[in-house]
Every structure is written in C-alpha cells, then in structure tokens.
Amino acid sequence: MHTITLGDDLTTSAMGFGAMAVTPVYGGTDEATALAVLHAAVDAGITFLDTADVYGAPEPGTDGPAGTNERLVARLLADRRDEVTLATKFGITGRIGAGVDPGIKRTRGDAEYVRHACNASLRRLGTDVIDLWYMHRRDIEVPIEETVGAMAEMVAAGKVRSLGLSEVTASELRAAHTVAPIAAVQSEWSLWSRDVEEHVVPACAELGVGFVPYSPLGRGFLTGTLTREQVAADLRGNTARTGENWAANQRVVDAVAAVAERLHATNAQVALAWLYAAGRRAGVPTVPIPGTRSIARITENAAAVDLMLDDEALTALDAVADLTVGGRNIVADPSWISSGRE
C-alpha cells in the first residue's frame, strides 16, 4: 500500500485501521479473533493503527480510561512494533453513552493529567514511544495552550513523535499549532458527516495539517449491512440518525449502493474512496481509519485505496449529505463535537 505524510514528517499507510471496535462497543468479539484481526490489518499493509486509552469496557471496580484496547494492541506490538505506526489518545476520563449523566465532566486536559496519561498509555502499550498522540477531546475548562504545551513536553522527552487533536474547532487548531506543530486532526468525516468541511478542513489545508477521518463508514451505516435493531442496541442508537429517522436515512444507503453497483465495488469501498477524493479536493492529506472485527472486510476496505471515482460518482456521492436526516453527535452535549463549538 502506498504511504501518505501527515504534517511535516509522519508517514503512514494510506489507509489506517481503527481498533476501537475490536473491544466491545458495537457488539463484541473474542480476544483471539480481535488479535487475529489486528495482525490481518498489518498483513494487508494497513500499518497505521488507531487506539485510545478509553477504548474497551472498564475493568470491574475501576473508573476512568479502561486501557483494555491498548492492552490488546500491546499484544500485537510485542511481535510487530517496527511495522506499526502507532496512534493513541488521551483526555476522555468518563464513560459516554446511554444512561450516563450528560452533566458529568468527562474530559481532562490539565498539564498534570496529560503527563500522567502519556506514561499510562506507554506502560499499557508496552512501548517506549507513541508515533501519533492525540488529545481525544478538549477540556473546555483548560486553555488548549496548556494541554498542547504539556503534550509537547512528551515530544521533547522522546515519548511521543507527533501530535494530533480530535474534534477541535478551526480556532482551537490554530491556537494549538502556535504552541507545537500538529501533524493531524482526527474528527468524524464521511459522506453523511461533512460539517468539518466548513472550517476545520480548510484550516488543516492552510496550516499543513493532515486529516484522519474517523467513522469513515458512518459507524457501519453507509455499508448497508446494519439493521435498525442492531444499531439501537449500542452507542449508535444515540444519534438522531437512527430511531424514527432510520427509514428516511435508508435513502443514503441506496445512493451509495447505486454508485457501488455501477463501479463494481462495495459500499464501504465507495465511501472510503470518496474521502480520498474529498481530501484531494481540499488539499489535505487524508488517511481514513475504518474499523472492523472481520478479516475479510479488512481486505475489502484496503482495496478502496485503488478505487478511482469518476465525475458521475462524485456528483451522486456529494448529494448524499443532503439526504441525511439528523445530526452525528452521540452525546446530548452539543460541545462534544467541533461543530457544536464553532
């Protein structure tokens, strides 16, 4: 697989792998399968792995970042650290989702916590350096300059190679970039989640920052393989796009499927290929990180790097956002995502 450079010098495989769902979030999988999936991603040339300290079910009796996803990734790294570009994140300190009090503060970005989080991730991952370390969510009670200043200390200490920010606004990105170079923004970007194109993506183009679109398959929805019942049972049931808007949003799936059929590709491949096209159009190096618990789907998704979309396909796919009913946020608090703070 060819490579893409994010920021000044972070070179990654053109497609990454989002490891979030190999520990329970959209249903589950067993640990042996999860580890086999991680190996399969690297075997397929998808060597840019995305985890976070908060991914995975919390261990009984503990609070805060679970670390179980990082511990799983550590098992891959034990054998293959040199093959992997490792990305992880810190900053979400509480659980999100149904049944969680939306008034609870769920983020921390103070300097003391930043230092603690870095050391904790390194320990769990069993490595001495993180290639790309993201602030997962902004702590709006702490100036972003303090958070990024402490992240930069970790770079100076040799514990981190490059810095990233997730779900930041364009002005937060600009402020952060004056403190330390930011290699990549990771935020939701897909055919049906395009709010970042208004401010954040242009700021990335202006500053030379790469973009890592998360949930590039619309958390699976764009693939057309999910059922309403499946989605209602997990985190995805929290968005305004499911429930009573489920049926209306099937028009989105239909539009993607029509393009896929004409191009002899799959919905997932078309959704990923559109992101590469959108990144080129915006002048921003773009590396999507689809996740799956299936080895077969890794091969399918990897093939999207070679799928070129013609003008007819791009026109049809650009219209998908207008068919979408309901916002993308999975949390009741609008400030949880960048467009809620722009």
Residues that bind ligand NAP in the complex, under the rule CB under 6 A: 18-21, 26, 50, 136, 166-167, 186, 214-220, 223, 225, 268, 289-294, 297, 300-301
Cα–Cα distance between 218 and 320 in angstroms, integer? 12
Please report how close the Cβ of residue 72 comes to ligand NAP at its closest, in angstroms: 12
- Least distance between ligand NAP and beta carbon 122 (Å): 19
Q: Which of 19-42 are b and which e, b meaning 16 or more Cβ less than 10 Å from the residue's Cβ? A: bbbbbbbbeebeeeebbbbbebbb
Kindly tell me which of 158 and 236 has the beta carbon lying closer to ligand NAP. Answer: 236
For ligand NAP, the nearest residue by Cβ is 18
* Cβ-based nearer residue to ligand NAP, 207 or 272: 272
Rounded Cα gap, residues 250 and 257, in angstroms? 10
**List of residues 6+ apart from 229 with CB closer than 8 A:** none
Residue 61 Cβ vs ligand NAP, minimum distance, rounded to whole Å: 26
Nearer to ligand NAP, 56 or 218 (CB): 218
Residues 26, 55, 113, 276: which is the catalytic one? 55
Beta strands 3-6 and 16-18, pairing class: unpaired
Is 113 in the active site?
Answer: no
- Look at the block and give the residue holding tokens 């170079």: 181
Which residue, 38 or 155, has its beta carbon nearer to ligand NAP? 38
| Cα of 38 vs its chain's centroid, Å | 16
Distance CA 269, CA 314 (A): 13
Task: Provide the minimum distance between the beta carbon of 251 and ligand NAP in the complex, in angstroms, as a whole number.
Answer: 19
In this structure, what token pair is assigned to residue 125? 């991952």
Cβ atoms of 7 and 181 within 8 Å: the answer is yes
Residues annotated catalytic, as ranges: 55
